[in-house]
Amino acid sequence: MTKKLYFGFFLILFSVCTTSCKKQLSPKETDNFSKQDSVAIVRLDKKDSKNTISSAVDISIYDKTTDPKTASYELLDTSSIKNLKEYSCAEEKTRYISLPNKDDIRLVLVPQDCGDFDYRYYLLTIKNNAVVSDLYVEGTWQEPEDDSSKENTSFKIDKDFKIFVKTEISNSTKSISYKIDEDGKIVEL
């Protein structure tokens, strides 16, 4: 009898929590998400001295760090997209990681490891089969034999397609926000 009572109590507690603790997204909010790339982070913060709890949801469509040694790339004929040759490392096929599209604007992450550094990625916007804009968004850079000049850059893209690029240099951090306009251009906010 006691086991049934405990089970009933937990069942009621579970059903109350699942109906009141979830944030439901409308179909419009999930249109631009792929199952792989969507990340939902729920934060609970204590508010005021009464310890009431509120929740905030920060949804990013891309918030990852790419490991160039294990990254899985798709291939695209370099000649199939106007101005893509500039990002192909002189190859006939360009390696890329596909990101969620913003309406008719395609977003891809392209490695630029054919120069002095093996960990550099550019975000490209493609519209009407042409590269419209690019932005250095992830990687490491430093002057030869000068560890104090080392820069680490990372980025994330939120559900509104705002791009947040963070560069850490020694003991300082620089953050810049961008948006993608309707023409596919990446514009600093």
pLDDT digits (tens, 9 = 90+) for 101-146: 999 999 999 999 887 777 899 999 999 999 999 999 999 988 877 7
Q: Please, which residues have CB within 8 angstroms of residue 65's CB and are 6 or more apart in sequence?
A: 138, 154
Question: Is residue 34 included in any domain, yes or no?
Answer: no
Tokens representing 31 are 């249109």
pLDDT of residue 19: 40
Contact call for residues 58 and 70 (beta carbons, < 8 A): no
What residues form DSSP beta bridges with 176? 165
Contact call for residues 108 and 138 (beta carbons, < 8 A): no
Other C-beta atoms within 10 Å of 23: how many?
Answer: 11
pLDDT of residue 58: 61
pLDDT of residue 4: 45
Question: Is residue 140 included in any domain, yes or no?
Answer: yes
Question: Is residue 160 included in any domain, yes or no?
Answer: yes
Say which residue the tokens 């490695």 belong to: 111
- Distance from C-alpha of 172 to C-alpha of 19, rounded to nearest angstrom: 43
Contact call for residues 180 and 186 (beta carbons, < 8 A): yes
- Domain of residue 135, residue span: 62-188
Question: Is residue 122 included in any domain, yes or no?
Answer: yes
pLDDT of residue 101: 96
Long-range pairs for 116-122: beta carbons < 8 A, 24 or more residues apart: 117/141, 118/68, 119/68, 121/66, 122/87
Collect the ranges in the chain with pLDDT lower than 70.
1-58
Q: Can you tell me whether residue 87 is helix, strand or coil?
A: helix
Question: Is residue 38 included in any domain, yes or no?
Answer: no
Count up the domains in the chain and report the number: 1
Question: Is residue 159 included in any domain, yes or no?
Answer: yes
User: 0.85 exceeded by the pTM?
Assistant: no
Greatest alpha-carbon span in the chain:
74
